Chains A and B, each alone.
Chain A
Amino acid sequence: MVFRSDEGVGLRKKLLRAERRKKFEALGLIAPLLLVMLVFYFVPIAMMLFRSIDNSQMARILPQTSEAIQTWSGEGLPDEATYAAILGDMKIAYEEKTLAKAGRRLNFDLVGYHSLLLKTGRKVEQIVEPPYKETLIALDKKWGDVRYWTVMERGLKDTTMMYLLAAVDLRYDDDNKIVKVPEQEAIYISIISRTVYISLSITILTLILGFPVAYYMANAKPRTRNLLMIVLLLVFWTSLLVRTLSWILVLQNNGVVNNLLMFSGIISQPLDLVFNRFGVYVAMTHVLLPFMVLPLYSVMRAIPSDYVRAARSLGAKSITAFIRVYLPQTLPGIGAGALMVFIQALGYYITPALVGGPRDQMVSYFVAFFVNEQVNWSMASALGVTLLILTGSLYLIFGKRVNIANMKLG
């Protein structure tokens, strides 16, 4: 007996050791990729997230001021030393041509700061002796306005919530409280809700069109099924830009659709079918339809026809059997397809940019806009954060119910 248990322990140890070795092998095989992705993917994303609150450049441009302003209580104007500090900083920043950068940053918080800094910067050479405070206020009375100093103090901290707040139409007021921006300046909430609205509409459209297609394919003869699958996969594999281009050609004023409608006498003037919301819906539904059909189809293929037949034989009408017996079994497919389409649609940029009008652009477009046209990387990052939160929360809520890995490839 003792002998046997000894052997048992030895075997168990050996088994554990083998298991452990397998685990190390596994980790060793994954490690290179994980390392590459850490350095070239997760670190960059983390840096982008940080960028949306990073404000450290300001203290680098105006170092003395950032030191001096810490003694300021926030009530009334700062003391002479702070004015001396900002003069010194501006002198250097003007020569190094970084003053405009600081001006743009502060202008984002309070309009007028950019011109104030540049105007003062040009004359800063001439101010050589105290009292600096009075001279500056005499030069521009904005230097005697407490609001400008509140913004300066806020602007010299290492981090700022300003961009993230701006991305949801909020800002700091003169008393450092978070308030809504004036209605005529509020744009981002409407862009975010437009993005969600368009994505939701596309999801519903792909479901309406995708369900019958998947159902037909799942129940068709093998030859028909294969043929339709090839058509679907061909569309799936065709470049996004090719498909977008083809919709512009089909929907334009002298495109196929307008020509047919005019030829048949239904309309006398070409309809505006593209470069508006309609064009976005038509093209995006086309691009994303395969992502709905493929998971639906694979779920429907696995549904045995016995249940519906049983329901019918028990007296259910075909519509009842469909709704009460068949439809519930397709829910995993609907869930996977809808999540896939919705999340992809949220991040869409190219198709709306090419077939939509100015009022049909989504969050991604504005991220690119802030990088390419405004050169405001912080605001681009803040909008990126909202987009990431939007898609991330969807995963957290629905991702567990849907097998992500199997979604995309059908």
Chain B
Amino acid sequence: MFNEIMPLADVSENTKVQIVSFSGGYNFVRRLQEMGLVPGQIAKIIRNSKIGPVEVSVMGSNLAIGRGIASKILVKVVYE
């Protein structure tokens, strides 16, 4: 099993990932975490057209995350 770490923005639709870390300033990270994107959390990519925002299901609801932000969230794919 190969658990490569990559930006959320690059993960394809219908994939489950685990949040690993963030690259960004304090406020930025803080805001993401308060929306439920804490390290270790499992999220499912609902929609990722690779040009627009990414839609992920996390903590029981769906979040729209702009591409810029999504490329600063590092995740690893969870294989089931």
Determine if chain A interacts with chain B: no
